[in-house]
Structure 1
Amino acid sequence: MDFSRVELSADDAAFHDRVRQFLDTHVTDDVRRRDRETGDNFDEGVHLAMGADGWLSAEMNTGADGGMTRVQRRIWDLEKRRVHVPWVTWGTTIIVAQSVRQFGSPELRAEVLPRVPTGEVRLCLGYTEPDGGSDVATCKTRAVRDGDGWIVNGAKMFTTGAHNCQYVFLITNTDPQARKHKSLTMFLVPLDTPGIEIQGIRTVDGDRTNIVYYGDVRVADKYRLGEVNDGWRVLMEPLSVEHGVVDADADGLQDVSVLVHQGTVMAVSADRVAAAAGRRGPDGRRLLDDGSVGYRLGRSLARVEAALATPNMFGRVAIAQAMRDVSPDLMDILGAAAALPIETDGAADDGGAEYLYRWAPLCGIYGGTLEVFRNMIAQHVLGLGRPNYSPPKAKTS
């Protein structure tokens, strides 16, 4: 395996400089502070600037279509990660825009797609329901035919970014008598439609997500994606992307799995703790002088590296589980001051380990719980069959 530094061509080096100049200009300390305060993981000013300067359009297209080359795309992704661009809403927008392009009517495509690369239109995911868990196919939100349109009633949880988006990619039940995968229809619903109420929910890591209520919401049929009761087919590709089960390209110029962004934050936090453990205190001693500290720190760093190198859906599980296991050790190594959050006087590592500890449980449920992904691996990769959740049979005497 070649670990040598990649030498950029003159064009790619110039591209790198242009990316850095743009991001350093627009993704400021104020942007990052505001994002921590709101928990939105979105900044409209930055997003619209990306649209106006052509970055969103370039990211949506390949080099052959006037977009980024593979190397340029990797540079762009790494630089966004370096400056902590608020990114979640753009991620969902790209996923949904592909479905609109594939399954939307010409009228719907004309309404939505031209305004996505400008940043004016953002799209979010309306999957999970308050009592539905990770199985989105158990959808109870109803869409009922009414003349040339539909009436939608129900509720969706964890619709992150809804308050900053114009449309929601909504899964509905249009045939309660059918099998669950044959009863679903997808819509792209304008979020300014009467009857939609968005309520914010703050998670333990400080992020904002939403619960969205749909009360007698009238949706024109032009907003339907795909055929009636064929929504599962429309949903499969976006779900695969979110779950991280798509195949990686052979050139290696992409993350080996989803959640690498989160894993990189974990790696930075672990590096900061390692640096702190190696510094001498007022008494001349280092935390590393305690053998147990060196053992726990080494174990944590090894877990981080292994997780970041784990591909595909396995990497999603490895990174999320590593965050849950590593973050308590990092806080223990630093001591009581590790409980202080970012920008607090006396915080041991500027709140890095403390934030990682709060973020870890959330990373274990993004796109589905770790248990769901372990079952998917067992069933579809290892061939172990479907899990049996039925209660045990009573013993007979």
Structure 2
Amino acid sequence: MGLLSDALGRVQPSATVGITQLARQMRQAGKDVIALSAGEPDFDTPRNVRDAAIAAINRGETHYTDVDGIAELKAAVAAKFRRDNGLDVSADDCFVATGGKQIIFNALMATLNPGDEVIVPVPYWVSYPEIVRLAGADPVFAEASQETGFKLSPAALEKAISARTKWLILGSPSNPSGAAYSADELKGLAEVLLRHPHVHILTDDIYEVLVYDGLEFATIAQVEPGLMPRTLTMNGVSKSHAMTGWRIGYCTGPREILKAMVKLQGQSTTNPPSISQWAAVEALNGPQEFLAEWRDVFQKRRDYVVGRLRACAGLECLLPEGAFYAFPSCKGLIGKTSAAGRPLATDDDVVMALLEENGVALVHGSAFGLPGHFRISYAASDADLEKAMDRIEVFCGGVR
């Protein structure tokens, strides 16, 4: 009898975490490495949010809270969903967890059984299929390739649905591609889902505030209110307010599912961090004007990075509509050899050669289910982005 569980054996380690840790170790060893592998804003948490956390500490808000969050935060979450997304919900329809990932984990672990299927559009965030597998269910991959703008088409969704389908996971803007669905595109998917009442929808809206070129963010329960009774809408403050380390995610959805998630969370982490919750109250209720400035900075970085990538030999890159990632094709490099003589048989080879030979850490597209690409995060300083793009251009130019 082995020590480790069969469930854990079904799960792969996070590629993004692995590459980022490797880059960190290389820097600690004295190597010059620019890490563009992590998905984290490089801004500080806004001052008013930090001050709210300090005030909470000084008030003694350091004890256990309700498992699914303090009343003040759930009220702020409900107000945010009403204000920004047109969802008619109350605090009783909301749930708070230790990060957006725990929302997804709780929802899937609380609802999936062996034999159930979850539709995961490709490319996907690395954790989606692994959480599905950990819950004993089966991910069903519906490809949304570069030819479709990395977006799931209604026809591909229809084809992926079976009698065993329990969930569709839909992230917009997407990690890793930056693709963002318009309201009209979501309506097309909603029309399919309305024909299949056994399918629930989990929308990952964590990058909601980062959409560019005047695109108006939309979420599927907003576009088609008829889907609200079976939609879990997830969000958080990690990307919107540069609060990745504070670990606060939130959602709204059917109360039956929320009740099950409370039961699960009560036997795992219990409540989210109390101080972080009070900081999140201020983040959601306080001034939001800074978001426009942050969005402008990210859009300028996007334009710079995509322009430089398109000028590199062997790379093609679509213009992301949101988030802070680009997902270029590196198929033009595969089958060739790097300047240092390393064979480039896969996208993983390309990424590792670029790290070892030129000191830039990226994540291979295979980790997101779409070989022949890599993900680059432009949530970094302008200086680091310029140096990284210079190195990528040199690397691509040396491939033969």
Larger radius of gyration: 1
Higher fraction of helix: 1
- Asked which structure has the greater RCO (Cα within 8 Å, sep 6+), the reply is 2
